[in-house]
Chains A and B, each alone.
Chain A
Amino acid sequence: MSIAARLQAPAVVNRGIRESVGSRAISLWIPLGLFLSFTLLPFYWMVVYAFRAEGSTLPLPWPLTLDHLATVWNELNFSTYFLNSTITAVFTLLFTVVLSLLAGYAMSRYEFKGKAPFMLVLLATQFVPGAMLLIPLFIIFRQFGLIDSLVALIIADTVFQLPLCAILMANFLRNIPMELEEASWIDGCGRVRGFLAVVLPLLRPAIVAVGSFAFIGAWNNFLFALMFINSNDRFTLPVGLNSTIGEYSADYGALAAGGVVAAIPVVIVFAIVQRFLVQGVSAGAVKG
């Protein structure tokens, strides 16, 4: 059976040909169950604490309450953190998608001097960690007057997401036949119109994937926000969450509810992008 056929075949068909139910339990279901519990129990524990009323010791979010959520949202300023994180992540997404479309198009459709070094530089940036550039970046942003501004975060996040997103975009573009574009030129489209009318619609999965990676990266970034932002009103969720860990370490309901607020958008975006993870990873776009 070919790999593709094997991937698509319903599980029932395969079972029992060579494997007994017992050996399948030992080699598949038991390890799968263990992995699933290790992965999901921590999430579940957070949900229990976030939605369980004070005083209950049930291992369930029961009696159900939204009090903790209301506390972090209204009193602990999480509505502001959420807004700041959203602004940062959405602008990072937009800039990363547009810039990686441009660079990806150049890398996939043109031969030019310096293309190989350019791609090498893109890959090499993966060895330059943000943590190690905190000091010089702080000094640069201070010169631009951008300390304590979300603009600094958007720039820094875009810069660090861009290289691998551009490579990913180029890989997607290479899979779109050049003939389609050329046909549109014959029909009288210019290069730009041909791209917009023919290529862009086909690139939708690529844009979704690149956009999601950029969004998750920016949403999760902690160190840049820690270093470049000073005032509480401009904190993003990771920094806000961290200060809550320090100050409200005894209020477990609030801690867990803050975690839920930070997790929800990322979980939704992850649900969209998880189909592309394997592709993204082969391009090196999935950092970890």
Chain B
Amino acid sequence: MTGSALAMKPRRRRRIPTPYLLIAPAVVLIATFIAYPVGTVGYFSLFQYSASKPWATRFIGLENFRVMLFEDPLFWRTLGITTAWVVAEVALQLVFGLALALILNRTFRNRGLARALMFAPWAISGVLATQIWLLIYNPSTGIADVLSQLGSPTQFAPLASAAGAFWSAVIAEVWRGIPFFAILILADMQSIPTEMYEAADVDGASKVQQFFFITLPYLRDAIIITTLLRAVWEFNNVDLIYTLTGGGPAGATTTLPLYVVEEAVGSRNFGYGSALTIAGFVILLIFSVLYLQLGRASRREGKS
């Protein structure tokens, strides 16, 4: 696809602004509903602004940020939970996604069907995933019920404890997220030249060696980009946690974006919610830059 895209360079230079007319609707929409809102978040973060008390709205400078950094233990707590969530999600989805891609890259009967079935959770919304996994986690309909029918005396109610709720959400989201990694890695795997493996076979390299010395190095760039995209996406992922655990029990699964949503939807505290949003942006920006730098540095090392 990319090869022919390079070959097909657009060939005419024109003065008439047709292309501008063509992109105008997209530009207007993105400017109004993405760029402008990003700007206003910064503006609102400098205000005491609660939609339930609009008369009390006033400019307070950086006060929201001072409160956030020095007086709000919830901010630091949600940030820690977000970090644990992102690390667990990205690591597990990457490992299982890679394994699934390796399997689906092999030749077998009905592979097309197997792929379609395995990728199905990708299309499922966070709320629907909650719905599905609630039936599994619920003590009277799920694993616990099956266990007790088999005669196990243990009580199993994963959503009741802090650690249980966290890992329940992690597993449900991993279920939904594996296809994303598998699809991306599979796309890249199929572009590895077969000759590399044939040469390795001739040299007597084992399958395991081939995986570590051919497949993984070849996939490195795809893995760096995919994990970054996924980290950003999971950082901001709210739907599943919001509906599955509601951030509980006792705030044990409240991530930073969930905290923002609670401020926005629940208490309508738009000023402070905006300050939290800005904090999220800045953290993601710093993380992305550092991550890409790290990826570039390690690539140089690998090449030298």
Contact = CB atoms under 8 A, between A and B. Distances in A.
A39 B123 CA distance: 12
A39 B29 contact: no
B288 A245 contact: no
Contacts of B193: 3
Nearest to B39: A136
Interface string B205-242: 00100000000000000000000011011011111001
B135 A256 contact: yes
B26 A166 contact: yes
Contacts of B30: 121-122, 125, 159, 162-163
A35 B182 CA distance: 12
B127 interface: yes
B109 A11 contact: yes
A127 B128 contact: no
A133 interface: yes
A110 B175 contact: no
Given A11-B108, A266-B123, A266-B125, A46 B135 contact: yes
A267 B119 CA distance: 11
Nearest to A177: B8
Contact of B131 (A10, A12, A137, A258): A258
A178 B8 contact: yes
Interface string B173-208: 001111010011011001001100000000000010
A42 B149 CA distance: 19
B135 A128 contact: no
Contacts of A151: none
Contact of B23 (A43, A111, A118, A216): A118
A126 B229 contact: yes
A28 B108 CA distance: 9
Contact of A134 (B18, B190, B264): B264
Nearest to B182: A35
Contacts of A267: 120, 123
Range for the number of chain B residues in contact with chain A: 35 or more
Contacts, number: 290
A282 B38 CA distance: 27
B25 interface: yes
B292 interface: no
B15 to A, nearest CB: 10
Nearest to A268: B123
A135 B264 contact: yes
Contacts of B281: 132
Interface string A258-288: 1100110011011100100111011010111
A21 interface: no
Contacts of A6: 107, 194
Contact of B115 (A45, A174, A274): A274
A219 interface: yes
Contacts of A156: 33
Main secondary structure on A side of the interface with B:
helix
A150 interface: no
B273 A135 contact: yes
Contacts of B36: 136, 140
B141 A252 contact: yes
A140 B39 CA distance: 12
B185 to A, nearest CB: 10
B200 to A, nearest CB: 13
A116 B243 CA distance: 40
Interface in A180-227: 216, 219-223, 226-227
Contacts of B273: 135
A175 B4 contact: yes
Contacts of A112: 17, 19-20
A103 B123 contact: no
A105 interface: yes
B127 A134 contact: no
Interface string A219-263: 111110011000000000011011001000000100110110011
23 contacts: A6-B107, A11-B107, A11-B108, A28-B103, A35-B100, A36-B117, A40-B120, A42-B135, A99-B26, A106-B19, A106-B20, A106-B23, A110-B12, A126-B229, A131-B238, A132-B257, A136-B40, A158-B29, A221-B125, A266-B123, A267-B123, A270-B122, A281-B184
Interface of B: 1-2, 4-5, 8, 10-14, 17-20, 22-23, 25-27, 29-30, 32-38, 40-41, 44, 96, 99-100, 103, 106-109, 111, 114-128, 130-136, 138, 140-142, 149, 175-178, 180, 183-184, 186-187, 190, 193-194, 207, 229-230, 232-233, 235-239, 242-243, 257, 260-261, 264-265, 270, 273-274, 277, 280-281, 284-285, 288
Interface of A: 1-3, 6-7, 9-12, 14, 27-28, 31-32, 35-36, 38-40, 42-43, 45-46, 49, 57, 99-100, 102-103, 105-112, 115, 118, 121-122, 125-140, 155-156, 158-160, 162-163, 166, 171, 174-175, 177-178, 216, 219-223, 226-227, 238-239, 241-242, 245, 252, 255-256, 258-259, 262-263, 266-267, 269-271, 274, 277-279, 281-282, 284, 286-288
Q: Which 9 A-B pairs have the closest CB atoms?
A: A220-B125, A136-B37, A129-B236, A106-B22, A270-B123, A110-B19, A106-B19, A238-B127, A259-B131
